[in-house]
Amino acid sequence: MTDLLETYIQNREMVQPNHANMLETAHGGNVLKWMDEVGAMSAMRFAENACVTARIEGVDFERPILVGDTALIEAYVYEAGKTSVRVRLRTYRENPMTGEREKTTESYFVYVSIDDERRPTRVPSLTAESEEARELREEALAGERSVE
């Protein structure tokens, strides 16, 4: 069994002009790519196998990330099936000089664990031992229900 907090991954990307649209904000496709990569890292840490993206359950782009800002992406596994792994993803706009941040994007991704022959393979059970882990899981489940 793996605890939810063991799956928590955080990564940053500096938003450069080549990541931007004509409004000088991060292109939504780049934000999704970064989220997918971090989400897959979280899923793979949990499954201890390669994982592939199976589904994206709604994406809420709440505010832009400007060129020069940092995109801070956080992900964690909040639920697991037989071969599937559900990951909550949130992205924040972060000022690299002050650390000021605000949430910009949120989504829920589903990954499938695969073996060396690229066939779905079982994943372990997920636990939420600490109060923090239980709160993160409940937040994810409540948020997921609101996008379905």
> Which residues is 106 bridged to in the sheet?
60, 90
Distance (Å, rounded) from C-alpha 87 to C-alpha 76? 5
Whether the predicted model's global pTM rises above the 0.95 cut: no
Q: How many domains does the chain have?
A: 1
Give the start-end residues of each E strand in the chain: 2-3, 9-14, 50-61, 70-80, 84-94, 101-114, 126-127
* Residue ranges making up the domain that contains 50: 2-147
Q: Could you read off the pLDDT of 60-117 as tens digits, one per residue?
A: 999 999 999 999 999 999 999 999 999 999 999 999 999 999 999 999 999 999 999 9
Distance (Å, rounded) from C-alpha 35 to C-alpha 57? 13
What is the rounded (10 degree) CA torsion for 21, 24, 28, 32? 120
Q: Could you read off the pLDDT of 121-145 as tens digits, one per residue?
A: 999 999 999 999 999 999 999 987 6
The tokens of 1 are what?
């069994």
Is residue 141 within 8 A of residue 78, CB to CB? The reply is yes
3-state secondary structure of 88: strand
11: domain CATH number?
A: 3.10.129.10
Q: Could you read off the pLDDT of 45-74 as tens digits, one per residue?
A: 999 999 999 999 989 999 999 999 999 999
Distance (Å, rounded) from C-alpha 114 to C-alpha 44? 10
